[in-house]
Amino acid sequence: MSERKVTTKYYPPDFDPGEIARRRGPKQTGPKVQAVRIMAPMSMKCTTCGEYIYKGRKFNSRKETPPNERYLGIQIFFFSIKCTRCSAEIIFRTDPARNEYAMVKGAVRNFEPWRNRASEQETVEERLDRLEREEAEAAGETAEERDAMADLEAKNADARAEMAAADALDEIRQRNARIRRSEKDGVDFADYIVRPEDEERERQEREDEEAARRAFAAAKQRARGGTLGTEETVEVVVEEQGGHGPLVGTVDGSSSSSSVVSLSSSRSEQSDAAAMPPPPRPPTFKRAPKKKVDYAAKLGIRKKTPLV
């Protein structure tokens, strides 16, 4: 019994391999035909026997690709199926203009979808112009509003905003890394971090304190000035800088108003400074380290003493 799969073949003595020539059959003319499995893209009714074919039914169809049937460079395909009852031929094709399928012969659709007749009658150039105009309107600009310099400025602004955001993010990451390192080492660097909101708060507090001090001093000065204006003579005691002792004298109220007001204002400022309590310390945002809980001790587990 011979082998089922042979590795060598018999060549007769008079075999001439030069006589073997490659044969090429004639090229296929006409549209390219291909057998494909397809589902009915729409519900239809056969015009021969009146059989209803529902959408989604599977058929063994014949797909034809005519080379000269195109729409804006898109190939149009024809599909041929047979009726399930009378085996009549039903042909339908793709319709790129409407984005659907169109019946050719052998059947009719059960219902026709609504179509805009005005858009169907427009030419290819009119349709392209309409699509470009709709895209421009959707983008919110027209051909006249497009400015190269405006686009460049917008791009530069976006780039600056991205760089600023990246710098702020890097600063936040570095600060978080320092805080994590400080927590590991037991050192808190939160007091050394100067925040702009803290500086602004301290500046506002200083301004408020200065404004309140000036308001109190002016009120006391006006009160004392009213009492001194009624008196005709005022006794002024001035201590000389050289240490010769006090000088006592009488000065008319009209001529000594400026000196008395200056002395009263200086004394009132000293008394206000002594009477006013010191300003409260600004709040600190120091992070308090959280104490670690020894759960081993709570469970009664004793740690082994190191030998070394």
pLDDT in tens, 39-63: 999 999 999 999 999 999 999 999 9
Q: What is the pLDDT of residue 276?
A: 64
Based on the fold, state whether residues 167 and 203 are members of the same structural domain.
no
Tell whether residue 157 is among the known ligand binding residues.
Answer: no
Q: What is the pLDDT of residue 57?
A: 94
Tell whether residue 275 is among the known ligand binding residues.
Answer: no
Domain interval for residue 90: 32-114
Mean pLDDT of the chain: 77
Based on the fold, state whether residues 49 and 91 are members of the same structural domain.
yes
Domain annotation covers residue 127: no
Domain annotation covers residue 300: no
- Virtual CA dihedral for 190, 191, 195, 200, nearest 10 degrees? 150
Asked if pLDDT for residue 110 goes beyond 70, the answer is: yes
Based on the fold, state whether residues 100 and 74 are members of the same structural domain.
yes
Domain annotation covers residue 165: yes
Based on the fold, state whether residues 40 and 109 are members of the same structural domain.
yes
Based on the fold, state whether residues 178 and 226 are members of the same structural domain.
no
Based on the fold, state whether residues 45 and 102 are members of the same structural domain.
yes
Instruction: Convert 106-127 to b/e letters by CB count within 10 Å (16 or more is b).
Output: bbeeeeeeeeeeeeeeeeeeee
Domain annotation covers residue 3: no
Based on the fold, state whether residues 181 and 225 are members of the same structural domain.
no
Tell whether residue 86 is among the known ligand binding residues.
Answer: yes
Tell whether residue 83 is among the known ligand binding residues.
Answer: yes
The encoded tokens of residue 17 equal: 């391999």
Read out DSSP for the chain?
A: ---SS-S-----TT--GGG-----PPPPPSSEEEEEEEE-SS-EEETTT--EE-TT-EEEEEEEE-TT-EETTEEP-EEEEE-TTT--EEEEEEETTTTEEEEEESEEESSPPP--HHHHHS-HHHHHHHHHHHHHHHHT--TTT--HHHHHHHHHHHHHHHHHHHHHHHHHHHHHHHHHHHHHHT---TTTPPPHHHHHHHHHHHHHHHHHHHHHHHHHHHHHHHHHHH-SEEEEEEE-TTSS-EEEEEEETTTSHHHHHHHHHHHHHHHHHHHSPPPPPPP--PPPPPPPP-HHHHTTPPPPPP--
Based on the fold, state whether residues 207 and 183 are members of the same structural domain.
no
Mean pLDDT (whole number) for 137-163? 77
Domain annotation covers residue 137: no
Last residue within a domain, chosen from 79, 96, 114: 114
Mean pLDDT (whole number) for 296-301? 77
pLDDT in tens, 204-258: 899 999 999 898 888 888 888 765 544 444 444 444 444 444 444 444 444 444 4
Q: What is the pLDDT of residue 222?
A: 86
Domain annotation covers residue 73: yes
Q: What is the pTM of this model?
A: 0.37
Mean pLDDT (whole number) for 138-144? 62
Last residue within a domain, chosen from 212, 232, 252: 232
Domain annotation covers residue 178: yes
Domain annotation covers residue 285: no
Q: What is the pLDDT of residue 258?
A: 44
Based on the fold, state whether residues 37 and 110 are members of the same structural domain.
yes
Last residue within a domain, chosen from 176, 205, 232: 232
Based on the fold, state whether residues 84 and 37 are members of the same structural domain.
yes
Asked if pLDDT for residue 13 goes beyond 50, the answer is: yes
Based on the fold, state whether residues 51 and 92 are members of the same structural domain.
yes
Based on the fold, state whether residues 101 and 168 are members of the same structural domain.
no
Confidence class for position 266, pLDDT limits 50, 70, 90:
low
Number of domain units in the chain: 3
Q: What percent of the chain has pLDDT over 90?
A: 26
